[in-house]
Amino acid sequence: MTKTKKRQKTQIPPKREVDVYFETLAEQSQNPINRVIQYVAIPVFSFAVLGLVWMIPFPEIGFLKRNGYDTFLNWGSFFIAGFVYYYLRLATTLSYAVLLTVGVFSFFIVRLEYVEQSGGPTVWFVCSVLLLASFLALYLGKRMERNPVPFSNFLRMLVLGPIWLWHFVFKKLNVPY
């Protein structure tokens, strides 16, 4: 092989792990109705999961309660940190977009807590209904696909769904991720 051919071969960057995931998800989501379902149900599913994790009782820690910081620390905080770290390792810019989304979700979860305190439905109930409805919609959407999607890939789609949706926005705006 000549030097120019060797040089051309080495210039092609290897695919990142996140790009491989996105390609797999794109191959498994060809049905246009399923795509619409995913655009709606993935954010609802993510919101519901965060809301349920947020509402798991957190142990009271004396020094936090005395200083008024106990409302900012819950299991949702650790959940958010874990997922943002995972997304950060996959695609830095997309993880920032997800962090912004989580901020919006957190605002609405706190609003749901206020509704619950004023006599409305519990956050647990609202998030459980949203979770079941979105999971069912996503599952039925996957069943519309020509090629059956293994359940493990379906679960991967649920985990990677938020950054996968953001990557469409970034591609449309020509922003590298």
pLDDT tens for 50-60 read: 999 999 887 76
The number of distinct structural domains making up the chain is: 1
Task: For residue 71, name the pLDDT band (cuts at 50, 70, 90).
Answer: low
Q: Which domain holds residue 160?
A: 35-55+73-177
Residue type, 56: I
Length of the chain: 177
What tokens appear for 70 in the block? 């106990």
Specify if 86 maps to a domain. Answer: yes
Q: What is the pLDDT of residue 61?
A: 64
Specify if 170 maps to a domain. Answer: yes
Specify if 177 maps to a domain. Answer: yes
Specify if 123 maps to a domain. Answer: yes
Q: Which residue has the higher pLDDT, 61 or 56?
A: 56
The pTM (predicted TM-score) of the whole model is: 0.82
Distance between CA atoms of 128 and 29, rounded to whole angstroms?
26
Specify if 125 maps to a domain. Answer: yes
Q: What is the pLDDT of residue 7?
A: 55
